[in-house]
Structure 1
Amino acid sequence: MSRGGSGGRKHVLTARNRSAASTRWLERQLNDPYVRRAKAEGYRSRAAYKLLELDERFGLLRGVTRVVDLGLAPGGWAQVVRRRVPKAAVVGIDLLPVDPIDGVEIVQMDFTDEGAPELLAEMLGGPADLVLSDMAANTVGHPQTDHLRTMGLVEAGADFAGDVLRPGGAYVAKVLAGGADNTLVALLKRMFTTVKHAKPPASRKDSSEWYVIAQGFKGRGDEAEASEG
């Protein structure tokens, strides 16, 4: 239950069995303009606007025909792709169940399972133009451990991108604590023409998430080095 406050801000009445933390979260949701906008525009999550803002800045969806969405749930990013590029083939994967999205092939599976990358490649039916990753590891409350676990997923996504992207394709992934570490950046710079970090306006200011945007795929790091040599 909520009530209007000064200036139209909504405040949540403390309910029995609701923790203070959950009350704060609910109040933030009620007052988040992106949450309200997502509901009004039919997006499943406010995260849709992160991709929309990144696309406006980097032109990620321009001319794409095949897209992979890693960490699909609840489906906001896939919705953006389908609305921006209705003819694009979209394949998504998540551990969590995801309600069907028109034009999107969805598999409920752990991306780190041995057979997941090959299955996604088969479902895609050809080279991808764009690999999106909004994956994040379940947090354990230890910042360094949480960072390492999430970076492991980012590296796994980059490895997958190296297998499925067409020349000139792009890889976008969520990273934490200010961005990708030096080792990952070095790898991506060998694989892509440009590697940049961005924090879209829709990403909450108090969140540690950033996104790494790697564009102009030129081959795996070892292959790129060999061609340059």
Structure 2
Amino acid sequence: DAPAFPALSFWPALILAGFLGIHITGSFVRSQKNHTLIFTKENTIRNCSCSADIRDCDYCLANLMCNCKTVLPSTMEKTTYNSHLTIWFTDTSVLEMLLNFTRVWDLKLSFCGTAPLPTEYLAIWGLRKLRVKKVKGRFPEQSVTIYSSSSNEKENSLAVHNKDRQMLVYISFLDTSLFNGYSLLKSYSVENVSSITEHFPSLLYSDVFSTSDNKSYVVTFIY
């Protein structure tokens, strides 16, 4: 019989292959960018950091797969979301608290409730892309892109770029009744608005915008 010792020569190759596999897998996991998921459940707010997309309104899976913590409504502060934000909601009061005059670039809203929503308007700063999922996913996901920018642009949450020494400011108004039943997600924008109060005197929240000579608004209505 042939000696068994030559078979040992395969072990270094196997060990190397295993090491490379672990290294590649670890690099892939580290390359995944976390995104923020916020949802309400039983009068509590859960703020989660997820490395993968979670099926809409699957609270158990979110608690299992994401790093979540409970947040008291009284401690919620306005913040800037520079990466993807997903919100699962059942009523507009939570959306108002989380989104009104908040800076969000990439947003997904999933309606997890059953009752029709009232017509309310939320003001969102700097929104680039919106995706919506209506009525517990009984309708296909819809999306609208308000504007896009290259990843290498140096910009803050409000100003996209300076043109002729004017700061271009994006503000979107979202009609919450769009989640009631099936309808195509629509939007339209009005550019070169120097004063929101003068251009839209009957618009809700218009009195909170200050008039400035160096600002030009792009106002988008989403419905």
TM-score range, shorter chain: 0.3 to 0.5
Q: TM-score, normalised by structure 1?
A: 0.33
Q: TM-score, normalised by structure 2?
A: 0.34
Structure number having the greater helix percentage: 1
Point out the structure with max Rg over C-alpha: 2
